[in-house]
């Protein structure tokens, strides 16, 4: 695969795949091991967790509260306070996933969705790409949640939730990123303490 006489790839910021082997297939993730050629010409191994695209939502009610979910996360071995989030199912666009997740996780739908940004969750080892949204104009609308989730809905003034980043009470990366992206769009809410 060399692109020039030196035998090195022409693009010094790529790692062409020489071989790929899937070593695990699960319900939520797959794991593969890729052998790649580095720009130096050497071979290296990359362990990659395959995950669908996902959405996370900052749902803000008319009183300036953010509706978060508290759920136990086994890898962290603790209950985390997070914005609602979930995977984008095959054939679904991210806005549809947002409305579904809001209804499943917090029992609301939104009149207005605003795309905040999209970002890699853990690009060193995972393919998950997150689409963050601000949801306003909330109104009750419940869908049955996933059987394997135990979620508590927590309503917190937005500015108080921002302050919880500094105390470590909120320490989930997608929650911190998406709420900071939403903050400038909610000037009536004020600043964190």
Q: Which residues are marked as active site? A: 147
Q: Using the structure block, give the residue that is written with the tokens 């953010």.
A: 66
Q: 162 with 179: CB under 8 angstroms?
A: yes
Query: What is the widest separation between alpha-carbon atoms in the chain?
Result: 65
- The rounded distance, in Å, linking the Cα atoms of 71 and 136 is 23
Give the helix/strand (H/E) hosting 35: strand 30-37
Query: 58 - beta bridge partners?
Result: 134
- Rounded CA gap, 131 and 99, in Å? 13
């Amino acid at each position: 695969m060399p692109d020039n006489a030196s035998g090195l790839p022409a693009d010094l910021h790529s790692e062409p795949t020489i071989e790929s082997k899937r070593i695990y297939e699960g319900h939520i993730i797959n794991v593969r091991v890729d052998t790649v050629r580095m720009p130096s010409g050497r071979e290296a191994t990359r362990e990659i967790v395959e995950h669908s695209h996902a959405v996370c939502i900052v749902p803000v009610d008319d009183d300036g509260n953010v509706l978060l979910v508290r759920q136990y996360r086994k890898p962290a071995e603790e209950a985390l306070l997070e914005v609602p989030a979930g995977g984008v199912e095959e054939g679904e666009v991210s806005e549809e996933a947002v409305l579904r997740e809001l209804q499943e996780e917090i029992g609301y739908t939104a009149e207005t969705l605003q795309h905040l940004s999209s970002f890699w969750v853990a690009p060193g080892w995972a393919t998950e790409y997150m689409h963050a949204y601000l949801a306003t104009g909330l109104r009750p609308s419940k869908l049955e949640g996933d059987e394997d989730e135990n979620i508590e809905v927590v309503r917190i003034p937005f500015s108080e939730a921002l302050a919880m980043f500094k105390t470590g009470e909120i320490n989930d990366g997608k929650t911190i990123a998406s709420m900071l992206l939403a903050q400038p769009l909610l000037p009536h809410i004020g600043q964190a303490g």
